[in-house]
């Protein structure tokens, strides 16, 4: 069984202080995808770069204290790819790919548009410019018989059951009609599979992965499901279990773990 975990850390040093690495040591994960490092490589201690039993790889943003993604893996990857060839967003550290035999795992962090109209327009640019990469990956997977998994914070709640207050958020970033239609196209037109939703098609509150720090969103479970594991069909068919861990809080996001009956070799 292959166990893959994804989590937006909202600051790797902050999450470390809240015990994320102690918890990870108990999870028997094979690959861990993390987002929003908010750190450059010189900021990372040896324990954060390579926790016990893991290899660590990172794509940090050029801007200090901002964005950044990483992958921890038990098995050393055959290849690491930083960025997807777009200067604007590669500078923000949003895409890191690790290849293991016939499996590729990507740690992905889509922009948030909630802070300003300028950032929302940047998010729309990302969606437009990332779609060809999704097409290329899907084509490569079909031609080469590879399976690909995109893990991370997509900053879009796809359906009404993916957030608590959907009615009042229809004009807000993360649940805009254009964003939701883009994600639908990723599934319906390009053939990618939302693994969590495939395993638990009707899950609501137990599937949320992010809660605002405002009010009592966490306490009242007023959440959003915006963290995904999105896979090629063959890998998605091998998924056996998905779970969001909420017993401890390491970030404003919660870890999403999926078990796959799949071997990389």
CATH number for position 48: 3.60.10.10
68: left (phi over 0), alpha (psi -120 to 50) or beta: left
Neighbours of 32 (CB within 10 A): 27
Interior CA angle at 136 toward 134 and 139, to 5°? 110
- pLDDT tens sequence across 30-80: 999 999 999 999 999 999 999 999 999 999 999 999 999 999 999 999 999
Residue 150 covered by a domain: yes
List beta partners, residue 194: 230
The residue among 248, 262, 252, 263 whose CA lies nearest residue 21 is 248
Residue 191 covered by a domain: yes
Residue 204 covered by a domain: yes
CA 86, chain centre distance (Å):
19
pLDDT confidence of residue 201:
97
What is the pairing mode between strands 210-211 and 239-244? Answer: unpaired
Give the separation between CA 98 and CA 148, rounded to whole angstroms.
10
Q: How confident is the model at residue 265 (pLDDT cuts 50, 70, 90)?
A: low
- pLDDT tens sequence across 139-183: 999 999 999 999 999 999 999 999 999 999 999 999 999 999 999
Residue 265 covered by a domain: no
Rounded to 10°, the helix 177-188/117-144 angle is: 0
List beta partners, residue 163: 224
Q: Are 61 and 44 in contact (CB under 8 A)?
A: no
Q: How confident is the model at residue 215 (pLDDT cuts 50, 70, 90)?
A: confident
| CA dihedral for 232, 92, 124, 115, sign (positive or negative) | positive
What is the pairing mode between strands 210-211 and 223-224? Answer: antiparallel
Q: Could you tell me the end-to-end alpha-carbon distance of the chain, in angstroms, rounded to an integer?
A: 13
pLDDT confidence of residue 78:
97
Collect all residues with Cβ–Cβ distance below 8 Å to 64 and sequence separation of at least 6.
40
Give the separation between CA 231 and CA 113, rounded to whole angstroms.
25
Identify the domain containing residue 216 by its residue range: 2-260
- pLDDT tens sequence across 92-147: 999 999 999 999 999 999 999 888 899 999 999 999 999 999 999 999 999 999 99
Residue 40 covered by a domain: yes
Instruction: List, by residue number, the catalytic residues.
Output: 153
Residue 20 covered by a domain: yes
Domain tally for the chain?
Answer: 1
pLDDT confidence of residue 113:
86
Give the separation between CA 240 and CA 62, rounded to whole angstroms.
38
pLDDT confidence of residue 114:
84
Q: Are 8 and 34 in contact (CB under 8 A)?
A: yes
Give the separation between CA 109 and CA 252, rounded to whole angstroms.
15
Residue 91 covered by a domain: yes
Residue 236 covered by a domain: yes
């Amino acid at each position: 069984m292959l166990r893959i975990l994804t989590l937006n850390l909202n600051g790797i040093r902050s999450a470390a202080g809240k015990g994320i690495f102690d918890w990870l040591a108990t999870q028997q994960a094979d690959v861990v995808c993390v987002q929003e490092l908010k750190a450059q490589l010189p900021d990372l201690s040896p324990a954060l770069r390579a926790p016990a039993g893991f290899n660590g790889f990172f794509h940090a943003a050029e801007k200090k204290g901002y964005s950044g993604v990483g992958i921890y893996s038990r098995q050393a990857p055959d290849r690491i790819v930083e960025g997807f060839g777009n200067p604007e967003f590669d500078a923000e550290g949003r895409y890191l790919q690790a290849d293991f035999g016939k499996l590729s795992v990507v740690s992905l962090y889509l922009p948030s548009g909630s802070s300003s109209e300028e950032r929302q327009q940047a998010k729309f640019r990302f969606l437009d410019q990332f779609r060809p990469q999704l097409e290329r990956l899907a084509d490569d997977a079909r031609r080469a018989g590879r399976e690909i998994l995109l893990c991370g914070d997509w900053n879009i709640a796809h359906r009404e059951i993916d957030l608590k207050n959907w009615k009042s958020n229809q004009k807000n970033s993360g649940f805009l009609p254009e964003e939701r239609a883009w994600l639908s196209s990723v599934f319906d037109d390009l053939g990618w599979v939302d693994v969590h939703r495939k395993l638990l098609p009707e899950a609501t509150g137990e599937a949320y992965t992010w809660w605002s720090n405002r009010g009592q969103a966490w306490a009242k479970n007023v959440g959003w499901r915006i963290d995904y594991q999105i896979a090629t069909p063959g890998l998605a068919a091998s998924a056996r279990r998905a779970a969001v861990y909420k017993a401890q809080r390491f970030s404003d996001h919660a870890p999403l773990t999926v078990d796959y009956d799949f071997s990389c070799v």
